[in-house]
Chains A and B, each alone.
Chain A
Amino acid sequence: MTALALKPRRVLRAPGLLAILAAILVGFALGARDFTTAANLTNIALQSSVLLLLALPMTFVVMTEGLDLSIGAVLSLASVVLAQVVVATGSVSLAVAAGLTVGAALGAVNGILIAFVRIPPFVATLGMLGIAQGLALIVSDGQSITGIPPSVDFVYEGRVLGAPLPILLMIAAYLLMHALLYRTRFGTYVIALGGNREALALAGVNWRVMLILVYALAGACAGFAGLLLTARLNAGHPTAGVGMEFDAIAAVALGGTSFEKGNGWLPGTLLGVLTIGVLHNGLNLLTIPSALQVCCIGLLVILIFLFEALRKETP
């Protein structure tokens, strides 16, 4: 099973990605002041934690030849729901459960629309983007929800054994997802969902349920990312996640997961997330406005697809 993660064709892409990452790192180290300080590097890892939680399950979704445009909006919704629950009841565990449930439920609806109603993934999740964004605005009445207790902030600001908690969570999330994809039967099904769905059906696997689980997983992870972001902002905000699905898709594309035939590579997504985290951080230090950063990442994504398309033309 591990062999899949180390298949030569995929690993061959790593040097390219590592070279991009290294070039960006060296560029910023030379060009931006304070980039290489320990505090800043920790900061990059901290800021990447939310993105990683979205990009890992997005890799699963893309591997099934799907796409989830709704996770940014689902993150926002989970963020305001859990903020309201914690403010109303004071119970952190109840709030976290509510956030995760909302995320998983909306994700499952995505999966049902795609697997059973057969709506193309990008349209079903685009509709869900509207629904989740609308719900987030309705639940919060368009306002930030403040008064979050310190026990929630601990998720983002806390330290365990000297290490920042989000970084530990990041490592745990990656290891968990890696094991899920490469060491379990479910992971094999995910890989087969994009590669050969018919074979899966002929083998007697209920692929529709598997697809629903993949989207529910994406929703639940968005809910968890909502917890991290709420802790970081110290508030639930109904538009906090706007556009985050784009960074997640960009990280997946950067990591070498193909949008056709379901060729995915999870370690690549990790590198992609770090690249985007470094890019945002470095451009911030150079005081490039965030809108222009988004523009840069958009161009980067188009370039990756361009490269991919050209590679297909010349085998």
Chain B
Amino acid sequence: MSSAAAPTSRLVLAPELVRLGVRLLAVIAIGVALSLLSNAFLSPVNLLNVLRQAALLFFMASGLTLVVITAGLDLSIGATIGLAACLAGTAIKATDEPLLGVVIALAVGGGVGLLNGLMVSLLRLPSFIATYGMLWVLQGLTYTYMAGSTVYGFSPGFRLLGNGYLLGAPIPVLAMGLLLLIGTLFTQRSVWGQQIYAIGANPISARLSGVPVKRRLVLVYTLSGVTAGFAALVFLARLNSAEADVGGSLTLPAIAAVLIGGASLFGGVGTLTGTFVGALLLTLVLNGMNLLHIGANWQPLVTGVIIIVAVGLDLHGGRRRA
């Protein structure tokens, strides 16, 4: 087992900073390349669009980062977003009460995450199997509930969440900054956050040193569900519509953002700042493909390659594990 996983933030941060620097350079390089290749790239409209899209990806990927730090994976994120968006969307449409929609989306996300957490911690199911089963259960429920229909046209007040501005900055981008700040304080400066790293580095030694492993695991999966629920709200507000397959293609990019951000699937390593840079990098790539008129059909291919390359580099990029 690696010794670098001791959960004091300073030890984790030094190599992390180097890795983060490399990723930031990659972001800048892609940015420069795109500004040369496409005139539209540097326009304020497009840059704001990139940030908004990155924010959406970051909401999903932030909770997932915590899951990955504990050496788990959550494959049900996209399906959670689908169910949360459809239930919240129909509720808002029916009652014209945006707050009710917010409560529903967060509750659906939290509830799904709680179930995932219980399956992983109490029943000790491998996380990718538990959340994979959950994916199909949720998708089945969503498709059945919507029965092929679409809800659309929400009140302008609710839509502010997706395309409103506050002090000159888009609200989703501000929310991303806030989530990044709170999340980083939580993971790096709180006891619970450090316990999450300890569980990922070595669950047995974490348990022996008094970390309530099961309760923390439940917390982590619940948080992943809640951030997915929040992402569903922003998605709903931005698209102004929801249908059953809304979340289907969102899980792969979220996983890719986390892995590009430097979190290791083997646990104990990863930061929210890294995931933020990962989300930005992936969004730049996808946005660039759009600007260069490379069809949307290429997106799953590129995302798949990125996932494999990121994990391969994690395994063989100087931090080789036994």
Contacts and interface: CB of A to CB of B under 8 A. Distances in A.
B209 interface: no
Contacts of B139: 291, 294-295
Given A298-B134, A302-B137, A130 B304 contact: yes
B255 to A, nearest CB: 7
B307 A309 contact: no
B107 interface: no
Interface string A128-169: 111111110110011000000000000000000000000000
Contact of A122 (B73, B134, B304, B308): B73
Interface in B280-322: 295, 297-305, 307-308, 311-312, 315-316
A301 B143 CA distance: 19
A297 interface: yes
A275 to B, nearest CB: 16
Given A129-B304, A131-B304, A134-B299, A295 B141 contact: yes
Interface in B121-166: 123-126, 128-130, 132-137, 139-144, 147
Contacts of B119: 302, 306
B35 to A, nearest CB: 26
A299 B130 CA distance: 10
Contact of A119 (B135, B136, B312): B312
Interface in B70-121: 73, 75, 119
A286 interface: no
Interface residues of A, number: 44
B265 interface: yes
A127 B123 contact: no
Contacts of B244: 291
A241 to B, nearest CB: 13
Interface in A246-291: 246, 249, 259, 289, 291
Contacts of B307: 123, 126-127, 130
Contacts of B255: 126
Overall SS of chain B's interface: helix
A292 B144 contact: yes
Contacts of B51: none
Given A291-B144, A295-B141, A309-B124, A134 B301 contact: yes
Interface string B29-66: 00000000000000000000000000000000000000
Overall SS of chain A's interface: helix
B256 to A, nearest CB: 8
A9 interface: no
Contacts of B144: 289, 291-292, 295
A117 interface: yes
Contacts of A113: 308, 312
B5 interface: no
A137 B123 contact: no
Nearest to A302: B133
A188 interface: no
Nearest to A124: B308
B123 A305 contact: yes
A301 B133 contact: yes
Given A122-B128, A137-B300, A292 B123 contact: no
B12 interface: no
A124 B133 CA distance: 19
B179 interface: no
Nearest to A73: B300
A127 B297 CA distance: 15
B315 A137 contact: no
B252 interface: yes
Contacts of B295: 138
A124 B314 CA distance: 13
A16 interface: no
B316 A117 contact: yes
Given A118-B315, A309-B124, A134 B140 contact: no
A291 B300 contact: no
B140 A123 contact: no
Contact of B136 (A129, A298, A305): A298
Contacts of A294: 136, 139-140, 143
14 contacts: A117-B312, A119-B312, A123-B307, A130-B300, A138-B298, A246-B132, A289-B147, A291-B142, A293-B140, A295-B137, A295-B141, A296-B140, A298-B133, A301-B136
A-B pairs with the 3 shortest C-beta distances? Answer: A295-B140, A130-B304, A134-B301
